[in-house]
A and B are shown apart, each in its own frame.
Chain A
C-alpha cells in the first residue's frame, strides 16, 4: 500500500511537467505580442526595452525554463495589468475559490449521496421518481443561468442575500462572509449534486441486485446493517466521481464566479484573458492543472483504501 502511494506520487511528476509544457505552449501559441496589447501604441524602442525587461526577447525554450524555475520558487512574475505579484494574487483568489469550492462540494456530496442512495434503495417509488427528475434537471440546467436566476430571486426580488463580491468582513467565520457565499455555493453545488446522486442511485441499484445482498439477508442482518454493506460497496465509485467534481469546483468556475464577481481563480482567469495578462493567465492555468493532478492522486489513493480488490502492490 505504502509502496503504491509512493509510486503513484512519483508518477505525478512527469504529468505535472507535461502539464506545464502544454500551459506554456498554449499561451504562447496565441498570435500577437502580449505587451503591445497592454501598452497600446508606443515607439518600437520602448517596446523592445519592455520586452527585454519581461524576458520576452529570449527564445521560447529558455523562457519556459526560466518561467518554470521561477514558478517553483514562488516567483511567477508580475501582472501586466496591476503590477501585483502573480503568486500573491493567485494564492488570494485560490483561497476564495476554495472556500466556495469546498462548501459546494460538501453540500453537493451530502445531499447527492443521501438522495441517490435513498432513491436506489427505494427503487421505483415516488421518492425515486422525484430524485430522478430532480437530477436530470440538475445536470441539464446551465449553472450560470441558475446563478442569474438565484440573483434575480434572492437578491433582486426578496433582497435577502447580496449578489456581488465576497464582502469586506475580516474573518471568513462571520455571518457577513457567509451571506456572500450562499448563492455562489448553491449555484456551484447543483451539477455535482445531481451527478453524484445519479451515480449513487445507479450504484446502489446494481449492488442490491447482487447475490451477496440476498446472502446478507439470509444471515438475518438488520436492514441498517445491509444498508451499511451496500454503501461500503458503493463508496469507491461514488468517491471517484465526487473527486473529479471536487477538482472541477476547486478549479473555480469562470461563469459562476463572473456572475457573482466572486474574487476567485475563475474570475481572475476571466480578467486575465480579456486583458491578455500573460503571467497571470499562465499562473492560473498551471495552478488549476496542478489541482486536477493532485485531486486525482488523492482519489486514487482513497479508492485503493475503500476497495480492497484494487490491489496495486
Chain B
C-alpha cells in the first residue's frame, strides 16, 4: 500500500452557479499527495485555492455549487460519500484549520468543550477521557497553563493562542490529512513564525500529510515539499519547492517572486504584476494570465496551454502551463 497516494485529485472543477452567472472558481486541478507529505498551494485572493480545500471535504454549499472530478482520500471516493460518510471523514481523516480563528471557533463554547465534542463524536468514549486528551492536545500545541485554558472561551485568548487552540481541535482525532487555509495570515508577524514552526513540527512528528494554502511565498517555502502556484482556478506551475522557487518557469510565478520583499536586495525596486486577476465568470479562451503577461504572443490567447512537464526525473517533476516557459527569467528577450 506504500505506492498508493493518500490523496488523489483528478480534474477537479468547481463552479458557483447563480441565475445570472457561472463563476469558474476551480477549473481542472489534479494532484496527488503521499502520506506525510506537504503540498503548498500559492496564489492570490480569488485564485481558487481556498475553494479547492473546501471541495476536498465537500464543505461548499451544495445548492449553489457544482463539483466535478475525482477526489480520493485514504482510499475513499469522497464524491460518492453520503452525509454519514462525510461526517466520518471530516474531522477524523481530514481536518481543517482556518484563517481567522476568532470567527472559526464557536464563541459561546469553551475550547475544552469544542475539543471534547469532536473526540466524542468520532471516537465515542467517556467525556472524562476526552477531557484528558483535550488537555494533552493543548499542551502539545504549546498553550501555556493549558488546564486553565480548557475552560476559556475563544474571546479570552490572544490571536496566537486561539490559532493554537484551533490546531488542537483539528488534531484531536489524529487526522491523516490536515488542510490549512492561510493559517498565519491573520496573525502578527512574530506569531506567524511560531505558528508556522509549530505546524511544521506537528506535521513531522505525527507524520500527517498537509495541504497548506497561502499567498505568502515565504510561508509556503518554509513548510512544503511540493508547491503548486494557482491562478484563475488552475495550477499554472508545479514542482519541488526548491526547483520552483529557484527557477520559476511561469511568468506568473516569476511575477510573484518579483513582487515579494523576501529575497530582494535593499534598494532594488519591487516589480508588481501589472493589471488585475481575471473575472472568473468570463475567462478568456486562452491562457488566463495572457492579458498581464510580459511574454505574451498571439498564440497564447488561442488555447489554454497544457500543464506540461519541463524536466523529467525527481519525485515532483517540474511542470508549467506556459508555452514560452524557456523565456521566463530572461526579460531581456521580450520584444516590444
Contact = CB atoms under 8 A, between A and B. Distances in A.
A220 B105 contact: no
Interface string B42-82: 00000000000010010100000000000000000000000
B105 A221 contact: no
Contact of B104 (A212, A221, A306, A309): A212
Contacts, number: 75
A210 B59 CA distance: 14
Contacts of A220: 86-92, 118, 121-122, 173
B121 A225 contact: yes
Contact of A217 (B59, B100, B122): B59
Contacts of B121: 219-222, 225
Contacts of B90: 217-220
Given A211-B100, A225-B117, A225-B121, A219 B107 contact: no
Contacts of A308: 107-108, 153, 155
B153 A215 contact: no
A229 interface: yes
Contact of A211 (B57, B98, B153, B173): B98
A251 B315 CA distance: 77
A232 to B, nearest CB: 5
A126 to B, nearest CB: 15
A1 B231 CA distance: 52
A216 B104 CA distance: 8
B98 A232 contact: no
B18 interface: no
B59 A229 contact: no
Given A212-B103, A225-B121, A219 B95 contact: yes
B169 to A, nearest CB: 7
Given A218-B90, A220-B90, A220-B92, A232 B108 contact: yes
Nearest to A307: B108
Interface string A218-259: 111111010001001100000000000000000000000000
19 contacts: A212-B105, A212-B106, A214-B104, A217-B59, A218-B59, A219-B90, A219-B118, A219-B170, A220-B86, A220-B88, A220-B91, A220-B118, A220-B121, A221-B121, A222-B121, A223-B83, A225-B117, A225-B121, A232-B109
Given A212-B103, A233-B108, 11 more contacts: A214-B104, A217-B59, A217-B90, A218-B95, A220-B86, A220-B87, A220-B91, A220-B118, A232-B109, A233-B106, A308-B153
